[in-house]
Amino acid sequence: MAKVFGFMEYNRELSADRPVAERIQDWQEFHTALPLDAQRNQSARCMDCGTAFCQMGLFLGGVASGCPLNNYVPEWNELLYLGLDEKAYHRLIKTNPFPEFTSRVCPALCEGSCTLGLNDFAVTTKANEFSIIEQAFEQGWVKPRPPKTRTGKKVAVIGAGPSGMACADKLNRYGHSVTVFEKDDRPGGLLMYGIPNMKLDKEVILRRKAVMEAEGIQFRTSVEVGKDISASSLRDDFDAIVLCIGAKKPRDLSAEGRQSKGIYFAVDFLAANTKSLLDSKLSDGKAISAKGKDVIVIGGGDTGTDCVGTAIRHGCKSVAQLEILPAPPVNRGPNNPWPEWPKIQKTDYGQEESIELFGQDPRNYCLTTKKIEGDENGNVRSLHTVEVDWSTGSLKEIPGTEKEWPAQLVLIAMGFLGPEETIIKELSLAQNSRSNILSEEESYATNVEGVFAAGDARRGQSLVVWAIKEGCNAAQACDGYLRGKHSRQ
Nearest to 189 by CA among 484, 431, 442, 467: 467
Residue from 146, 130, 128 nearest 138 by CA: 130
Which pLDDT does position 111 carry in this prediction? 96
CB 85 within 8 A of CB 132: yes
One of 1.10.3290.10, 2.60.120.260, 1.10.1060.10, 3.40.50.300 is the CATH number of 6-139, namely: 1.10.1060.10
pLDDT at res. 410 = 98
Would you tell me how many other CB atoms lie within 10 Å of the CB of residue 118?
A: 12
Instruction: Supply the angle between the helices 125-139 and 85-92 in degrees, to the nearest 10.
Output: 110
pLDDT of residue 290: 98
Residue 97 preceded by cis peptide, ω within 30 = no
Q: Comparing C-alpha atoms, which of 39, 37, 40 is closest to residue 15? A: 39
Q: What is the mean pLDDT of residues 1-28?
A: 94
| Angle CA 243–211–142, to nearest 5 | 125
Hey, do 154-248+417-488 and 252-414 end up sharing a CATH topology, with the first three levels equal? Answer: yes
Of residues 368, 266, 254, the one with CA closest to residue 308: 266
Could you give the CA distance from residue 429 to residue 243 in angstroms, rounded to a whole number?
11
Nearest CA-CA partner of 286 in 266, 304, 298, 268: 268
pLDDT tens profile 322-362: 999 999 999 988 988 999 999 999 999 999 999 999 999 99
Residue 224's CB is within 10 A of a number of other CB atoms, namely 15
pLDDT of residue 110: 96
Residue 320's DSSP bridge partners are 296
Which residues touch 283 (CB under 8 Å, ≥6 apart)?
A: none
Percentage of the chain exceeding pLDDT 70: 99
Q: Chain-wide mean pLDDT for the chain?
A: 95
More confident: 41 or 61: 41
CA Rg value for the chain = 23
- The SS3 assignment for 482 reads helix
- pLDDT grade for 4, boundaries at 50, 70 and 90: confident
H-run or E-run covering 303: helix 301-314
pLDDT higher than 60, residue 487: no
Backbone angles phi, psi at 136, to 5 degrees: -60, -40
C-alpha dist (Å) from residue 138 to 39, 142, 207, 425: 16, 9, 12, 45
Is the Cβ–Cβ distance between 306 and 191 less than 8 Å? no
Q: Write down the pLDDT at residue 42.
A: 97
Which CATH number fits the domain 252-414, given the four candidates 3.50.50.60, 1.10.1670.10, 3.40.1080.10, 3.40.50.720?
A: 3.50.50.60
Q: Give the whole-angstrom CA distance, residue 475 versus residue 7.
A: 38
Query: pLDDT tens, 149-191?
Result: 999 999 999 999 999 999 999 999 999 999 999 999 999 999 9
Confidence of residue 300 (pLDDT cuts 50, 70, 90): confident
169, 95 Cβ separation under 8 angstroms: no
pLDDT tens digit sequence for 443-473: 999 999 999 999 999 999 999 999 999 999 9
The neighbouring-strand residues paired with 249 are 418
Task: Assess contact for 479 and 174: CB atoms under 8 A.
Answer: yes
Q: Would you list the domain boundaries of the chain?
A: 6-139, 154-248+417-488, 252-414
| Region 228-240 average pLDDT | 97
Please tell me the predicted confidence (pLDDT) of residue 54: 95
pTM: predicted TM-score of the whole model, two decimal places: 0.96
Q: By the 8 A CB rule, do 271 and 388 touch?
A: no
Residue 404 reports pLDDT greater than 80: yes
pLDDT at 184: 98
In this predicted structure, the answer to whether residue 87 has a pLDDT above a threshold of 80 is yes
> Which fold does the domain 154-248+417-488 belong to in CATH?
FAD/NAD(P)-binding domain (3.50.50)
Kindly report, residue by residue over 42-84, the tens digit of the pLDDT. Answer: 999 998 888 899 999 988 877 778 999 999 999 999 999 999 9
Predicted pLDDT of residue 137: 98
CA-CA distances (angstroms) from residue 403 to 93, 108, 199, 367, 383?
52, 37, 33, 10, 8
pLDDT of 1 higher than 70: no
- Is the confidence at residue 127, as pLDDT, over 60? yes
Task: Of 89, 84, 10, give the one whose Cα is nearest residue 44.
Answer: 10
Convert the pLDDT of each residue in 249-291 to its tens digit: 999 999 999 999 999 999 999 999 999 999 999 999 999 999 9
